[in-house]
Copies of this chain bind each other. A is one copy, B any other.
Amino acid sequence: MTGVEVAGVGMHPFGRFPEKALKDLVRESTARALADAGIGIRDVQAVYASNGMAGLLQGQEQIRGQSALRDIGIERVPIVNIDNACAGGSSAFREAVLAIRAGAADTVLAVGFEKMFVADRDRSLAALETAADIELTGGLGLQFTAIYAMRLRKRIDAGLLRERDLVDVTVKNHYNGSLNPNAQHRKPVTPEQILESRPIADPLTLLMCSSFSDGAAAVVLRRAGTGTVEGRPRVRVAAAAAASGYTAGPEDDLPSTATTCATSAYEQAGLGPDAVDVVEVHDAMAPGELLYYEQLGLCEVGQAGDLLASGATAITGRIPVNPSGGLSARGHPVGATGLAQLCELVWQLRGEAGARQSNQPRVALAQNSGGWLSGEPAACNVHILERVDAWT
Using a CB–CB distance below 8 Å, which chain A residues touch chain B? 1, 23, 46, 52-53, 55-56, 58-64, 66-67, 70, 75-85, 88, 91, 95, 97-99, 101-104, 127, 130-135, 138, 240, 242-247, 257, 260, 334, 370-371, 373, 378-379
A131 to B78, CA, bound (A): 16
Residues of B within 8 A of A78 (CB): 242-244, 379
The contact of A55 among B55, B82, B373, by CB within 8 Å, is B55
Contacts of A240 in B (CB 8 A): 104
Instruction: State the copy count for this chain.
Output: 2
> Nearest 4 CB-CB pairs, A to B?
A78-B242, A101-B102, A61-B130, A63-B371
Q: Nearest Cβ distance between residue A11 and chain B, in whole angstroms?
A: 22
Question: Assuming A63-B379, A75-B244, A101-B102, what are 9 further A-B pairs, CB within 8 angstroms?
Answer: A59-B138, A62-B131, A63-B84, A64-B83, A70-B373, A75-B373, A77-B244, A81-B84, A101-B104
Instruction: Evaluate contact between B85 and A63: CB separation under 8 angstroms.
Output: yes
Residues of B within 8 A of A52 (CB): 61-62
Question: Which residues on the B side are within 8 Å of A62 (C-beta)?
Answer: 52-53, 83-85, 88, 130-131, 334, 370-371
Give Cα distance in the complex from A334 to B133, angstroms. 21
Write the chain B residue with the least CB distance to A52: B62
Chain B positions within 8 Å of A53 at CB level: 61-62
Q: 17 A-B Cβ contacts within 8 A?
A: A59-B130, A59-B134, A60-B130, A61-B83, A62-B84, A62-B85, A62-B370, A67-B133, A70-B373, A76-B257, A79-B379, A80-B82, A80-B95, A95-B98, A97-B102, A101-B102, A101-B103
